[in-house]
Structure 1
Amino acid sequence: MLDLLVTNATLPDGRTHMAVAVQDGRIVEVAECLQAPAAETLDAGGLLLSPPFVDVHFHMDATLTYGMPRVNASGTLLEGIALWGELKPSLTADAIIERALTYCDWAVAQGLLAIRSHVDTSDPRLLAVEALLEVKKRVAPYIDLQLVAFPQDGVLRTPGGAASLQRALDMGVDVVGGIPHFERTMAEGAASVKLLCEIAAERGLPVDMHCDESDDPHSRHIETLAFETQRLGLQGRVTGSHLTSMHSMDNYYASKLIALMAEAQVHVASNPCVNITLQGRFDTYPKRRGMTRVPELMAAGLTVAFGQDDMLDPWYSLGCADMLDVASMGLHVAHMTSQSAMRQCFEAITTNPARILQLEGYGIAKSCHADFVLLQARDPVEALRLKATRLKVFKRGKLLAQTPARTAALNLPGRPDKTSLMVGR
């Protein structure tokens, strides 16, 4: 007997009337109209059964600190970094852990079951590193949490920055990070990219580096990252995050750069909600959008994913762990409103980030982990339009969270008595 059988499901690739059979935490069969005895049967009612959402880029050590010690008045990246620097001396491990666990509760409720979080290594106490390593252990039964050693104040700019980052890796942090555009000079930024990639190559670790998170069209750190990726044989293991300077580059140079990135098999993490909030702050009109060239990067064959980046912290005052909200912002800003492009945006919060995080057993296919979300929508585009309710969230075939269907009662003459905002329902 099966542990769980989900019937009458629609899958993101468009297949309908599909059944998903689960045994011992794995999917053992995906077939049309499959019938089999099961301890539990769930009729999906034709709704969308998706693999769980994945956040490729987040800062869990800072989440839920909005207004501490004060609000970011200018709304700029630099003031956010300054505020975080003011807050760090008063942080405690217990407070970081509690805020992060609260965020993870929200994530599970929203069907977000895998997160790559950057953790600040600039504080020699490595308080945040210790805290998030503890969080990683606690949430392991329900969230795949990857940690990136992130020298927020610059690995070269900070006294002992490289040593602190190496200690964080020794403690068990998974990925090498960096922030070259925050070093004192462009040359120091390039040197930091070289150093950090060499550390990753020596340790056999992936790289995920904040690159060119500015409006400066002459920022060139992603170019250096692509070069170092090839020099050190790191193809497929390196992610360039943000890349917002690409929105200001001239088209000739951008076309050359995208080709170099594709050659180096560099992945891309774009953060639509935060990128368009922090960038363009020094513009009058017209104001730049502040997001990297997502459709062009996808068209060149790069793996591009969307991240939440921040939530209720010194950089961003909104958010609720909703990756559909992130993807919706991305498709609007990038003008990705065709049916195929909107589906690409759905993939940017599911299959694409799963590929970047190298998640084992991800997807809805035979032998994959039985991790999936039943959405109150009939396809990925409708899910994006509605920010669809996560009706049920499963991990290894076990129900983690459920939310009642969204239905509004109506009292209108001659009209139906309720609506779900779904076309035809």
Structure 2
Amino acid sequence: MRLLRNARLHGREGAYDIEIDGDRFGRVLPAGQGSGEEWIDARGGLVSAPFVEPHVHLDTTLTAGEPRWNASGSLWEGIAVWSERKRALTRDDVISRATEVLRWYAANGVLHVRSHVDVTDPGLVALDAMLEVRERVRDVVDLQLVAFPQEGIRSFDGGADLLAEAARRGVDAVGAIPHFEDTREDGVRSLEIAFEVAAEHGLMLDAHCDEIDDEQSRFVEVLATLARRTGLRGRATASHTTAMGSYNGAYSYKLQRILARAGINLVSNPLANLCLQGRFDGYPKRRGLTQVKEMLAAGVNVAFGHDDVMDPWFPLGTASPLQVALVGVAAAQLTGPAEIDEAFAMVTERAARVLGLGDRYGVAEGRPASFVVLPAASRFDAVRRQTRPTHVVSRGRLVAETPATSTRLTWPGEDPRDIDFVRDRDR
């Protein structure tokens, strides 16, 4: 038995000891009452279940500027640039880039990742490479793969067959992109096909849905209705849904009821979509995000994801979930203390619900001993100061450490001192 001591836990007063029994959590006890070999001293830092990435494209990461930059910054040019880049894909190319970004994720405390993989490639090069990556990293990162038809199911020749083949090869979820299909009828049919494939293979569903500023793009109501009628409640996710930022009040009210009743998840990607959306607007320019606050209030599960890390759609990023949470706070106007705590939940337990992790996630006796130690007093503090984990543990094994750092300030008339950006009253 090993001991994690002197930890803060969200929603609980005081400090705690957490016993680690092999690769599982043991008892959680008031500080000083735990037993076992002292292993990690949290020093009063916040101990949390690991961060969760509910939406990224690992097969496209680290390709920004290849073969050219996305000059317009639009979603559509990004797709065109990627269509050119994927002709040069090789197994080693995909494995190398994806694995490197997964190292970044682990260093940031992200131990569960859902990655979409483009399957509009007759050779399925990226998919086969990502299936191999999933096996290579399984001792550290739990990686889910979504078969993503980037260029459409109906609008790409053989798209439906490729989606079905991806399911047979062992993905975890089936995707779609209905707003990109040639017609609305094709978009609806593409969702029907995706649900049929998911049902046949017992998979989850995660569709890129209404990632456009067109207020007439309303495929999320179709996805939600199919989820409710086919029994995929809780196992279906609509990602992006940026057209919600353009819906009128009357339709939005109706939609909240439809989504809440269907029990689907929503994933908003504030970093990428703040950049991609509104590109065809003059001023005022729309934010181009889903209705985060409204859907949370309606009881819909909403999570925050990266979407892109240095690729044709977003040229920046370090795979930091707290950066995503911070941008989400600003973009969705989640500025109340409880709302900022909620933003933290959107990259932890709410994102875990998207992945269907259930009792495989959380700091509780008997669950996998995967966690992060943050040098922060609270979730609010972690988001505000963008604190890096001092320790990242995956199933009882320490996989990343970040040494404590400080800034030494010499100020006129004062002795030199360290600056940690903490308010005096919060110490």
TM-score, length basis structure 1:
0.98
The separation in 2 between residues aligned to 1:415 and 1:214, in whole angstroms, is 55
Bigger mean CA deviation after superposition, 42-51 or 78-87: 42-51
Write the distance in 2 (CA, Å) between the matches of 1:135 and 1:142: 12
Q: Which residue of 2 aligns with 1:267?
A: 265
Measured after TM superposition, the shift of residue 307 of structure 1 is: 0.4
Residue identity matched to 1:421: F
**Inter-partner Cα distance in structure 2 for 1:142 and 1:156:** 37
Q: Pick which of 298-307 and 39-48 moved more.
A: 39-48
Deviation at 1:40, TM superposition (A): 3.3
Match for residue 293 of structure 1 among 285, 291, 294: 291
Query: How far apart are the structure 2 equivalents of 1:16 and 1:271?
Result: 34
- Distance in 2, matches of 1:19 and 1:157, equals 56
Which of 151, 160, 163 is matched with 2:161 structurally? 163
Deviation, 1:314, is 0.4
Question: 1:166-201: CA deviations, max 9, x gaps?
Answer: 111111111010000010011110111111112212
Residue 38 of structure 1 deviates from its aligned partner by 2.3
Q: 1:117 matched to which residue of 2?
A: 115
The equivalent residue for 2:422 is 422
* Deviating more after overlay: 73-82 vs 403-412: 403-412
For 1:229 and 1:105, how far apart are their aligned partners in 2? 34
Corresponding residue number in structure 2 for 1:410: 409
Determine the structure 1 residue equivalent to 2:75.
77
Aligned amino acid, residue 376 of structure 2? A
Q: d(CA) in 2 for partners of 1:373 and 1:69?
A: 37
Distance 1:212 1:248 in 2: 11
Aligned counterparts of 1:5 and 1:237: Cα–Cα separation in 2: 36
Residues 123-145 of structure 1: CA deviation (Å, up to 9, x unaligned): 01000000000000000000000
* CA distance in structure 2 between the partners assigned to 1:100 and 1:348 by the alignment: 23
What pairs up with 1:16-415 in 2 under 5 angstroms?
16-359=14-357, 360-412=359-411, 413-415=413-415
Q: What count of residue pairs does the alignment treat as equivalent?
A: 423
Q: CA deviation at 1:204?
A: 1.7
Spell out, residue by residue over 1:347-375, the C-alpha distance to the aligned partner (whole angstroms, 9 max, x if none). 00000111111124211111111111111
Query: For the residues of structure 2 that align with 1:209 and 1:415, how far apart are their CA atoms?
Result: 57
1:205-261 Cα distance to aligned partner (Å, 9 max, x none): 110000000000110100111111122121111000000000000011011011101
Distance in structure 1 (CA, Å) of the matches to 2:84 and 2:416: 55
Q: How far off is 1:416 after superposition?
A: 5.1
Q: Secondary structure at the match of 2:143?
A: strand
- Contact preservation (8 Å) 2:277, 2:288: yes
Segments of structure 2 that go 5 or more residues without pairing to the other structure are: none
Return the offset for 1:202.
2.2
CA distance in 2, matches of 1:376, 1:242: 31
- Measure the CA separation in 1 of the matches of 2:121 and 2:13: 50
Aligned-residue offset at 1:423: 2.3
State whether residues 53 and 113 of structure 2, in contact with CA within 8 Å, keep that contact through their aligned partners in structure 1. Answer: yes
Shift of residue 397, structure 1, vs aligned partner: 1.7
1:358 and 1:190 map into 2 onto residues whose CA distance is 25
CA distance, structure 1, for counterparts of residue 278 and residue 6 of structure 2: 46
Instruction: Answer whether contact 2:17 2:34 (CA < 8 A) is retained.
Output: no
Does structure 2 conserve the Cα–Cα contact (< 8 Å) formed by 1:198 and 1:232? no
- Please provide the CA RMSD for this pair: 1.1
Counterparts of 1:407 and 1:17, CA distance in 2: 24
Q: Deviations over 1:80-139 (max 9, x none)?
A: 000000011111110110001100111111001110000000001000000000000000
Q: Aligned AA for 1:161?
A: G
TM superposition shift of 1:34: 4.3
In structure 1, the residue corresponding to 2:18 is in which secondary structure? Answer: strand
Unaligned runs of 5+ residues in structure 1 are none
Partner Cα distance (1:276, 1:43) in 2: 39
